Chain A
């Protein structure tokens, strides 16, 4: 394919892809740069030992594929991860209800990343405050790949922000009054709430919010 025939934006993306593939540490993961299946996404959420992306560890990953208007819970990914360095704090156990003996049954972070990458394939990622989850994931991934997850990212909270922003009258648009907390967002969108802080539940709820916001934007 000759780059000169593409429009500038696509040309830049193609260049970036080539550059990343060239630097890819492990050629087994080239599939992440394949063209994504039409109308498919992966919603993702992690539970961690705490909120510090440098010192805390992932203990659970929940991911689910979205196909068209369906959330494929029958093809879900649920991983329990053994933390590498950090012990669980009482506070974090209260949040996600995973105890030391629970996560001790988990797999290693490296193994979890392999499974996650195969599960995602080249599908765009969907999540709520995805930035945090990706920072946690990429820290583990960097030594393996030499880079973080390359797939396009869709942030549910910013989709929601855009949607609410356009609904507001002009004079109210700078007040910053849009409530972006997850529970408020789900309630405002009139979507069902399942118990939070379970990685898979959170991923599914983010997926639902994504489907609805996508619909609202199209309609």
Chain B
């Protein structure tokens, strides 16, 4: 019904009122009984279909490529190409809007976002999406609360303190702002004295050790509340022409917000966490910074920052955090004669929310540690657990002696993983291939890695066994179709790691191992494989986009789970997804399926 067309579903949600009118005037309603062929290959498409009720399956030959449900639209690509290339069949009785081709062309001509969302291949679709989000970016950052920004601890002095002593305080506390208490007046007054006040104090002419700070203090404090929005705090500063405001809840002063900190929060929040990590003098101070990382991720996610950027930032911050923690816990000679590394998703730089700690330590051959290395490692693992990184269920961490060995012993262990080729061994190898050094002498790690590559050279049987894990969780696409076909979305959840991330990441890792690509991130590996002519560029780009989509989806769901007090998991409740996310999920799982077919061919996995 024209009057009931759902303009809140993607891609129609980006239309202007005039464009909505065009849709209403160009839309018909079609009815298809179950089993009817809606579009056949070779046909010239005249309409875009938007499903009102029922399900449609898209076939390539005899394979079901994907399933469309209510609010999904098809076949945008065919309409653009002027030719249908797949068969679309009503899997269940279908009632659908059909929008005339001319109207669709007019909409695309007038609205870039609509066109991109509807027709483009995956990467265009995603960039159209992030463009839409970026409009809200700065806005949502300024909507963060004041206490989410870097609020400095308040320091108090008495109003009788001399300027000389106040200057000493400035120096020792490394601050430029002091709060001044005057208890001689009634009621006691509170004011602020800043570095700029010092100029006036010198110009006053009175010897500075005899000049009390009282006379130069500004006793009309400008306050904001911790729950105020940063944008409002900024407006207050501009209005009063001040560079800092006092953060107070009623009479209780919690800190001072400096304009500089506010701006750096809006522009580069991670810088502040970095400073916090570098300046930490003990483990509890680091714990504070670790908590900030999760808050930063949540903030960046809400603000629409590209997932790739978030992941890179988080990898750097985590690496700094681990490095600093290791430096604080391990004695200097152990730090110098070993290499601490992280593995798995953390090593690839694809870890967003804190999950299991996967880490290890390689010791220099012949190094005789003066300390009890095992005890130091246990202490380190415990510290990470305190930071919110739960111990690894597979016990892949430095506190496990198997993951804390000398270069020679480690290489020997890796050889055993390869030779025995047990599931656990191959898994350990897979995780180790992603190792990324965070502290100490990184050449030690490189030596072990080189040893692994030497052993795998041209060992096709071993490579095939390694790569075969991509098929471990069955065919995700079939599963997805079965699910939609049953129309029983309410109770179903998709394990995004099994269906998407793992086959993608492991497939790229297997190709990287086969072609001796030493990069550890999936993106770098894929790019190196393209450069070496081992992976089609188009597929590589789609895989990278798909990986980022999976990471983004997992993050979105994970943050929601954290907010509701649950541990972040890989389960995605399909009924909670928007129609755009469902659409993208189908596209990306389709890319993974295509990639798996390539891997099966490349490693001859059908024979296994």
Q: Is the CB of A71 within 8 A of B3?
A: no
Q: How many residues of B contact A (CB 8 A)?
A: 19
Let me know if B531 is at the binding interface, CB within 8 A: no
B 411-428 contacts with A by CB, 8 A:
none
State how many angstroms separate the Cβ of A95 from the closest Cβ of chain B: 17
- Counting chain B CB atoms within 10 Å of each CB, the highest count among A72, A74, A198, A219 belongs to A74
State how many angstroms separate the Cβ of A156 from the closest Cβ of chain B: 14
Q: Is the CB of B31 within 8 A of A200?
A: no
Q: Is the CB of A201 within 8 A of B4?
A: yes
Let me know if A215 is at the binding interface, CB within 8 A: yes
Q: Is the CB of B28 within 8 A of A200?
A: no
B 24-55 contacts with A by CB, 8 A:
25-33, 52-53
Q: Is the CB of A73 within 8 A of B32?
A: no
Let me know if B2 is at the binding interface, CB within 8 A: yes
Proximity string of chain A (189-217) to chain B, C-beta cutoff 8 Å, 1 when within and 0 when not: 01110110010110010011001100100
Query: How far, in angstroms, from A191 to B92 measured CA to CA in the complex?
Result: 12
The residue from A74, A195, A198, A207 contacting B27, defined by CB atoms under 8 A apart? A74
Query: How far, in angstroms, from A191 to B95 measured CA to CA in the complex?
Result: 8
Q: Which residues from chain B contact A204 at a C-beta distance below 8 Å?
A: 1, 29
Q: Is the CB of B30 within 8 A of A69?
A: yes
Closest to A68 in B: B30
State how many angstroms separate the Cβ of B96 from the closest Cβ of chain A: 10
The residue from A69, A70, A72, A194 contacting B1, defined by CB atoms under 8 A apart? A194
Proximity string of chain A (88-124) to chain B, C-beta cutoff 8 Å, 1 when within and 0 when not: 0000000000000000000000000000000000000
Mark B residues whose CB is within 8 Å of A.
1-4, 25-33, 52-53, 93, 95, 98, 100
The residue from B4, B28, B93 contacting A72, defined by CB atoms under 8 A apart? B28
Query: How far, in angstroms, from A64 to B27 measured CA to CA in the complex?
Result: 12
Let me know if A76 is at the binding interface, CB within 8 A: yes
The residue from B2, B31, B53 contacting A69, defined by CB atoms under 8 A apart? B31
Query: How far, in angstroms, from A212 to B94 measured CA to CA in the complex?
Result: 10
The residue from B2, B4, B31, B100 contacting A208, defined by CB atoms under 8 A apart? B31
State how many angstroms separate the Cβ of A96 from the closest Cβ of chain B: 14
- Counting chain A CB atoms within 10 Å of each CB, the highest count among B1, B26, B52, B95 belongs to B1
Closest to B31 in A: A211
The residue from A73, A198, A215, A219 contacting B29, defined by CB atoms under 8 A apart? A73
In the complex, given contacts A71-B29, A195-B4, A204-B1, what are 15 additional A-B residue pairs having Cβ atoms less than 8 angstroms apart? A69-B32, A70-B28, A70-B29, A71-B28, A73-B27, A73-B29, A74-B27, A191-B53, A192-B52, A192-B95, A194-B4, A198-B3, A201-B4, A211-B31, A219-B33
Q: Is the CB of B25 within 8 A of A74?
A: yes
Q: Is the CB of A190 within 8 A of B93?
A: yes
Q: Which residues from chain B contact A211 at a C-beta distance below 8 Å?
A: 31
8 tightest Cβ-Cβ pairs between the two chains A and B: A71-B29, A211-B31, A194-B4, A194-B1, A215-B33, A70-B30, A69-B31, A192-B53
Query: How far, in angstroms, from A74 to B27 measured CA to CA in the complex?
Result: 5
Q: Which residues from chain A contact B93 at a C-beta distance below 8 Å?
A: 190, 212
State how many angstroms separate the Cβ of A174 from the closest Cβ of chain B: 31
